[in-house]
Amino acid sequence: MTEPPYLHIAAAIRTRIASGALRPGDRVPSTRQVVRDFGVAMATATRALAVLRDEGLLVTRSGAGTVVRASGPPPRRSAPAHELSSDRVVATAMGVADAEGLDAVSMRRLAAELGVGPMSLYRHVAGRDALELLLVRAVLRAHPLPEPGPSGWRAKLELVSRVQWNAYRAHPWLPELISMTRPVLVPEAMAHTEWTLQALAGLPLTRAERLREALTLPALVRGLAASGAAETLAERETGQNNDEWWATLGGEVRALLGSGRFPHLAAVQGQTPEDMDALLEHALARHLDGLEMRLRGATSSGGSTSR
């Protein structure tokens, strides 16, 4: 039987580690490099590196990417089945997702982390879909909304947006599990929508407008968070931060901007891009400014509102 490509790739990297070509602390090829070198799909490359992480040969370090583990495979501590719980499985899954991304989370990987057989986990978590719901619930429970919260609709909407933003920033994989059109039906997520609608209650808006606002505002936050998560993934895979990546394109950028085709882009060349937190504050302020103007118009037509 032909060996699956991901196992062939894992074996090649394993051989380099065993021979000393890759030493403890050395960065291993990124998934993008594996795709180029072996001519495989991204999913195959990701799976190959996951095999080596499961074996304890690799570890992912913030800012350094995936490297050869310094002290070899760590000892696995046994976790008797009676000590397992859904909370422990979820906490382990969250740790893996935070360090390596959601794609690194599998029942096999969690079983290896916990030192049990994969089938033991199914007594506590029904499967991947159920695990993802439990992850969302755990994150939102850790970022609660206060009751009653600050006074005034604007302060309330700013607060719920920042609570969601902080959850996304703490767990960059979370935007993958949040949908605005097919939302997860769990109490913790529904509470955010209820809290937002309560903040809008009593304002001179139609029911349709209140619902649109309750969908649009979190979509704005999630969209920016997804962009931030994509940058985190790119740094992990390439080992380059955003400034370093742009530096590699310096010649191409100068040629394009010097062509005269993009005068407005050329005018802002060299300006330091704002970080994602600053972009969130800008987008949130402009969005709520627009809503405030809508409310003022409604007030002048006979409605009433308070800031």
Domain C-terminal end among 32, 52, 71: 71
Domain C-terminal end among 44, 71, 98: 71
Q: Same domain for 40 and 162?
A: no
Structure-token pair, residue 212: 């649109």
| pTM of the complete model | 0.69
Domain of residue 5, residue span: 1-71
The pLDDT tens digits along the chain (307 residues) read 456 788 889 889 988 888 888 888 888 888 888 888 888 887 788 878 877 877 778 877 655 678 888 754 444 444 455 578 999 999 999 998 888 888 888 888 898 888 888 888 888 998 888 999 999 999 999 999 988 889 999 999 999 999 999 999 999 999 999 988 888 788 999 999 999 999 999 899 999 999 999 999 999 999 999 988 888 777 766 777 777 777 787 788 888 888 888 888 888 877 666 688 999 999 999 999 999 999 988 776 665 444 4
CA dihedral 109, 115, 116, 121 (to 10 degrees): -50
Q: Same domain for 154 and 138?
A: no
Residue 55 within a domain: yes
Q: Same domain for 158 and 138?
A: no
Amino acid identity for residue 229 in this structure: A
Q: Specify whether the CB–CB gap between 139 and 174 falls below 8 A.
A: yes
Residue 306 within a domain: no
CATH number at residue 260: 1.10.357.10
Q: In angstroms, rounded to a whole number, what is the distance separating the alpha carbons of residues 39 and 9? A: 11
Q: How many domains does the structure of the chain reveal?
A: 3
Q: Same domain for 160 and 110?
A: no
Q: Same domain for 155 and 92?
A: no
